[in-house]
Amino acid sequence: MIKPHGSEKLNPLYVMNDNQRAELTKEAEGLPSILISSAAAANAVMLGGGYFNPLTGYMNVADAISVSENMRTVSGLFWPTPVLNVVKDVSDIKDAKRIALRDPNVAGNPVLAIQEVEAIEKISDDQMKLMTEKVFGTLDSEHPGVSAFNSVGNIAISGPIKVLNYSYFEKDFVGTYKTAYEIRDEMAELRWEKVVAFQTRNPMHLAHEELCRMAYKAVNADGILIHMLLGKLKAGDIPADVRDAAIRKMVEVYFEPNTVLVTGYGFDMLYAGPREAVLHAVFRQNCGCTHLIVGRDHAGVGDYYGPFDAQTIFDDIPKDALLIEIFRADHTAWSKKLGKVVMMRDVPDHTKDDFILLSGTKVRAMLSSGQAPPPEFSRPEVAKILMDYYQSIDAK
The type of residue at 359 is: S
Question: CB-side exposure of 251: number of CA atoms within 13 Å?
Answer: 20
Q: Which residues are bridge partners to 156 per DSSP?
A: 86, 121
The one-letter amino acid code at 214 reads: M
**From CA 315, how far away is CA 329, in angstroms rounded?**
15
Give the separation between CA 318 and CA 324, rounded to whole angstroms. Answer: 13
Cβ proximity of 110 and 102 under 8 Å = yes
Helix (H/G/I), strand (E/B), else coil: 363: helix
Reply yes or no: is the peptide bond before residue 12 cis, omega within 30 of 0: no
Peptide bond into 54 cis (omega under 30): yes
Closest CA to 341 of 318, 324, 357: 357
Which amino acid does the sequence have at 169? F
Catalytic residues: 201-202
Residue 220 has a CB neighbour count (10 Å cut-off) of: 7
The residues near 217 (Cβ < 8 Å, ≥ 6 apart) are: none
Edge-to-edge strands, sheet with 325-328? 260-265, 223-229, 195-200, 291-294, 325-328
The strand pairing partners of 166, in sequence order, are none
The number of beta carbons lying within 10 Å of the beta carbon of residue 323 is 13
End-to-end CA distance of the chain: 47
